[in-house]
Chain A
């Protein structure tokens, strides 16, 4: 048994690899599949027993019916709006911070980096009451801008630290070459650094989007009528029939999955796998 058997070793390695891949895929895909099944199967599909796990009686109608329910489309667009604000602000504020962290040496750089992360150390639950009070005073309560702002706070540390890694990946010499050949620092940034960092910045934007899209606590606390989709579904679905809940779940999952799939190539860039 203990003697080396290269062929056996290779085949068991392969077996491990494939079983790992299958397990991971199943981990992600099976829940999505079941949710989709529940959403598209209609009332019968959900309450049918015993479950077959096979797609039977599938149609888009239950899902479309759900979409026409009052408040769903509105909250869907609210979510898009809040996510859009989050993406825009966390890139506009986070990318310059990341660039500064990557390119400049300044006093307190390490503490700054730690401080950026520390903003995530306070649970939102603790901040909820003071936040609500301040939002009411500022007139931001129950507005999409307000939700976008608080989501930006959640996404910003992440954006700053990830873009730092991206800018570190752009060779300094390229920027210096741009300076030597006639660029100011700002021109060099837009002509050389930004195009090369773009894939990573897009990936950061998608993560910011997902963070905002999935966030439910702050959105529930800070809005009453202008709810985002997650907050809306949280309040409405507990009183809805089962297949509506599944349809809501699917509507929540789909945009993130589609976005991540669309930019999957760029996502690798942030881990430094991208080729130079």
Chain B
């Protein structure tokens, strides 16, 4: 077991800055996701930690020991690759045993460890087969078993579920969580899928254009996004951003008077989660023009505009709102995030 310290890591590809001074600490036994859209540098960061890519500057420490310049094999980690990278010329057994064989572990222990890892991932029936006889999901299990068999200090996963179909992905996600919880390995998990990151992680690091925009627990990141990007990237539907005028340090939402953190500004951006509202009568509520109402069964999804700016809100399925209606909304003032219109950064939650 080991913690990981990423210290001011930079990576340039020619003149392009893929990573701009990233610092991040991952505690012993913690599961941290690197979440972001493609091209944000998350995979590059993971590969730098693994030693498959070199950093332009900065330091990576695993268990207090700097690993910069060490080859991947000397970093005490295991990795699950996006395309599984299961060796096609070896049986499943030999694949899972690969890391142990390289460590010159004796046969009896190899057998024990392989069977343990295979048991955790339910691949015992395939141990004698070659990977080309396996489905994508089974190959993925082999790749995870291979990583767990060496009992690594650190486990790195690079979008391990992205090549699976939706149903299998959900199933593997739950199973991964079960397996990793019992293993207690420090894990870094790269994904662009926010539901995966939310469901699996202790903490999420949201990355964008080579910068970590926010690090926090899934609930934290969801409810109090640090930047407009984070609020827009996490959650489905994404957070609504409504630019509203400020009068005497307050914003009027129907009869609701909301105190803003920065009274001197003339305008502020109101960040609102789609489900943090209730239906209200019109003069009292904030006015919303509904363009489309979609009953989803579990809830009612409304798309329309507030202050002529597009919004999406979610109401209980029991409410009846039709396309074209004009409705009033009462906002949950504890779940509002205020953002600066200029910088796109949010004001600290405590001040709101």
Contacts and interface: CB of A to CB of B under 8 A. Distances in A.
Do these two chains really belong together in a complex?
yes
Contacts, number: 61
Contacts of B85: 171, 173-174, 176-177
Interface string A183-211: 11101000010011000000000000000
B166 to A, nearest CB: 23
Given A174-B87, A192-B87, A275-B132, A181 B81 contact: no
B130 to A, nearest CB: 12
Summarize A's interface: helix, strand, loop or mixed. Answer: helix
B238 interface: no
Contact of B146 (A171, A181, A184, A276): A181
Contacts of B77: 180
A179 to B, nearest CB: 4
A179 B71 contact: yes
Given A171-B83, A184-B71, A179 B88 contact: no
Nearest to A276: B88
Nearest to B104: A182
A234 B268 CA distance: 93
A62 B73 CA distance: 64
A176 B89 contact: no
Interface string A150-181: 00000000000000000000010110111111
Contacts of B89: 192, 195-196
B52 A176 contact: yes
A192 B87 CA distance: 7
Interface in B36-93: 50-52, 71-73, 77-79, 81-83, 85, 87-89
B83 A180 contact: no
Contacts of A196: 88-89
A176 B73 contact: no
What size tier do the contact residues of chain B reach?
Answer: 20 to 34
Given A182-B102, A183-B102, A192-B87, A177 B81 contact: yes
A54 B81 CA distance: 62
A176 B43 CA distance: 14
Contacts of A176: 50, 52, 72, 79, 81, 85
B101 to A, nearest CB: 8
B98 A181 contact: yes
Interface in B83-134: 83, 85, 87-89, 98-99, 102-103, 132
Interface in B119-172: 132, 146, 150
A10 B241 CA distance: 60
Interface centre among B82, B102, B146 (most CB of A within 10 A): B102
B113 to A, nearest CB: 13
A211 to B, nearest CB: 29
A178 B150 CA distance: 13
Interface string A233-276: 00000000000000000000000000000000000000000011
A171 B79 CA distance: 16
Contact of B79 (A177, A195, A276): A177
Contacts of B103: 182
Contacts of A181: 73, 78, 98-99, 102, 146, 150
A170 to B, nearest CB: 10
A180 B50 contact: yes
Nearest to A275: B132
Contact of A179 (B72, B82, B146): B72
Nearest to B75: A180
Contacts of A185: 71
19 contacts: A171-B83, A174-B85, A174-B87, A174-B88, A176-B85, A177-B81, A178-B98, A179-B72, A180-B50, A180-B72, A181-B99, A181-B150, A182-B73, A182-B102, A183-B102, A184-B71, A184-B73, A185-B71, A187-B102
Which 5 pairs of residues, A with B, have the shortest CB-CB distance?
Answer: A182-B102, A181-B99, A177-B85, A173-B85, A179-B72
Interface of B: 50-52, 71-73, 77-79, 81-83, 85, 87-89, 98-99, 102-103, 132, 146, 150
Given A181-B78, A183-B73, 11 more contacts: A171-B85, A173-B81, A173-B83, A176-B85, A177-B85, A178-B98, A179-B51, A180-B50, A182-B102, A182-B150, A184-B73
